[in-house]
Homo-oligomer: A and B are copies of this chain.
Amino acid sequence: MNDPRHLHLNAFLMGVGHHEAAWRLPESDPFANTEVAHYQHLARIAERGLLDSVFFADSPSLMTHPARRPAEAIDPVLLLAAMSAVTERIGLIATASTTYDEPYNVARRFASLDAISHGRAGWNVVTSAAEDAGANFGYDTIPGHATRYARAQEFLEVVTGLWSGWQPGAVVADKLAGVYADPALVRTLDHHGEHFSVRGPLNVGRSAQGWPVLVQAGSSPAGITLAARFAEAVFTAQRSLEDGQAFYRELKTATARAGRNPDHVKILPGIVPILGGTEEEALRLERDLDDLMVHEHALHQLAEQIGVAAQDLDLDAPLPAQVRPAEEIEGNRSRYELTVALARKERLTVRQLLNRLGGGRGHRTFAGTPEQLAGTIEQWFRSGAADGFNVMAPVLPSGLEAFVDHVVPLLQERGLFRREYAGSTLREHYGLPVPGLGVAREEASA
């Protein structure tokens, strides 16, 4: 291998696939969305492919109109606990909100998943931008962007503080002396801040990897600031190589400026792989999926997202010139900017835009052969645009199976990807230091 680095691959799971019409394909079980066996099967496929991790997005709200597509969202941390029971190595990452939960509860839930999975847990930190979420927690509208990020920062200080309260070696389990843990190594936190007062200690101790890996996905300035300070992996949504390189440089630089080793934050752009034995076959699958979309379903959500009335959107015309300005967006600003930029840059009609959003919600879609995809992955990886990829199969399980069986072997042949797991924890898969061991050991393991 020329490059001593290895790719990192995360399987972003979503029901029967990221494409919103996936459930309507003949191959799809439309009830699989709430069936744990489906998700356990996906975890086994990802582990067979030696992927670093699987991942679920999340919001504490109904994220789609229930007529439109499978709308239920089982608590992803519970799903991962059930998936951990049938796997041994694959990392398990779930999103949880800092806006609608308490830091003690979140710290405990992810430390619990980490204990259950023997060090395979990761937490994707979001501030919850869904318009509907606030109304489930007593807010008339969702709290503003700046408020959510200020709370998120303190939330992360509390969570990592609670996790570090159990020092290495705290549990001595000395039966003869009748001493279970050394109280000097189980520390209270005594945090008193603007948003939270939390005494601690947490009631869950260190795991095989110390504590869960912190993941982040926001790419607004506030999101990048938070990521630079805390994130160990970042899921992002850059569509061109140049955008990917620019974001990669920006985040690595910000991380170094925050006093951290830039190698300790792995950047994984999202990609929706629509694979076929030939390019034509791949394009046919893409067309079949788009043909199954019900555009009227999606129109209202788009209208709300960009701040126009639904009746002002014409499926066969471009976006109206006037949409709500970015600075008025209190929700998912990255998603808004992606959507508007995509429509303008590629001069899409509303229908075409909805097809693109329906396929991967603004992430990069790639329709082609495994060989073509492996080439693109290598290009991004070798030219400073990615440390790996967040793989968003349009249809599940078949899209993940295609990636694992046909793309992974090509990446291995190119010397880009592992041929077996070297470690057993999520930190080992991603090459991240074990926290809380002090500076010397942290450097040694890096």
Contact surface of A with B, Cβ cutoff 8 Å: 21, 23-24, 28, 30-31, 34, 36, 40, 59-63, 65-75, 77-79, 81-82, 84-86, 100-102, 104-105, 108-109, 112-113, 115-116, 132, 135-138, 170-171, 173, 175, 178-183, 186, 196-205, 292, 294, 297
Contact = CB atoms under 8 A, between A and B. Distances in A.
Contact of A74 (B34, B105, B204): B204
B108 A180 contact: no
6 contacts: A62-B186, A66-B182, A66-B186, A67-B181, A79-B116, A136-B200
Contacts of A40: 85
Nearest to A293: B178
A353 B60 CA distance: 46
Nearest to A62: B203
B36 A199 contact: no
Contacts of A75: 108-109, 112, 204
A180 B105 contact: no
- The number of times this chain is found in the oligomer is 2
State the main secondary structure of chain A at its contact with B.
loop
A69 to B, nearest CB: 6
A115 B24 contact: no
Contact of A67 (B34, B62, B72, B179): B179
A97 B71 CA distance: 27
A279 B302 CA distance: 73
Contacts of A71: 180-181, 186, 203
Contact of A180 (B36, B66, B77, B186): B66
A50 B30 CA distance: 33
Contacts of A28: 175
A197 B138 contact: yes
A104 B75 CA distance: 12
Contacts of A132: 199
Contacts of A203: 59-63, 71-73
B31 A102 contact: no
B112 A178 contact: no
Contacts of A73: 203-204
Contacts of A178: 21, 24, 292, 294, 297
Contact of A202 (B62, B183, B205, B294): B62
Contact of A100 (B105, B173, B179): B105
A175 B205 contact: no
Contact of A62 (B62, B115, B179, B201): B201
